Amino acid sequence: MKVLVPVKRVLDYNVKPRVKADGTGVDLANVKMSMNPFDEIAVEEAIRLKEKGVVTEIIAVSIGEQKAQETLRTALAMGADRAILVVTEDRVEPLGVAKLLKAIVDEEQPQLIILGKQAIDDDNNQTGQMLAGLLGWGQGTFASKVEVSGDTMTVTREIDGGLEVDSYKLPAIVTTDLRLNEPRYASLPNIMKAKSKPMAQKTAADYGVDVAPRVKTLKVVEPGKRQAGVKVADVDELVTKLHAMGIAK
Window 163-222: residues binding another protein (CB under 8 A): 163-169, 172, 177-179, 213-222
Distant-in-sequence, close-in-space partners of 214: CB < 8 Å, separation ≥ 6: 93, 95
Based on the shown chain and the rule CB under 8 A, indicate whether residue 149 belongs to the binding site for another protein.
Answer: no
DSSP 224: P
Q: For residues 30 and 37, give the distance between their C-alpha atoms in angstroms, rounded to a whole number.
A: 20
Instruction: Report CA 37 to chain centroid distance, whole Å.
Output: 7
Based on the shown chain and the rule CB under 8 A, indicate whether residue 150 belongs to the binding site for another protein.
Answer: no
Binding residues for another protein, rule CB under 8 A, total 81
Mask for 48-87, x = binds another protein (CB under 8 A): ----------------------------------------
Q: For residues 76 and 82, give the distance between their C-alpha atoms in angstroms, rounded to a whole number.
A: 7
Q: For residues 39 and 114, give the distance between their C-alpha atoms in angstroms, rounded to a whole number.
A: 8
Mask for 126-145, x = binds another protein (CB under 8 A): xxxxxxxxx-xxxxxxx-x-
Based on the shown chain and the rule CB under 8 A, indicate whether residue 244 belongs to the binding site for another protein.
Answer: no
Complex with another protein: residue 71 or 141, whichever CB lies closer:
141
Q: How far is the CB of 82 from another protein (least distance, A)?
A: 27
* Whether the bond into 183 is cis, omega within 30 of 0: no
Name which of residues 7 to 46 contact another protein (CB under 8 A).
11, 13, 16-17, 19, 26
Nearest 10 degrees: Cα torsion 39, 43, 44, 46: 130
Which listed residue (93, 110, 113, 174) binds another protein by CB under 8 A? Answer: 93
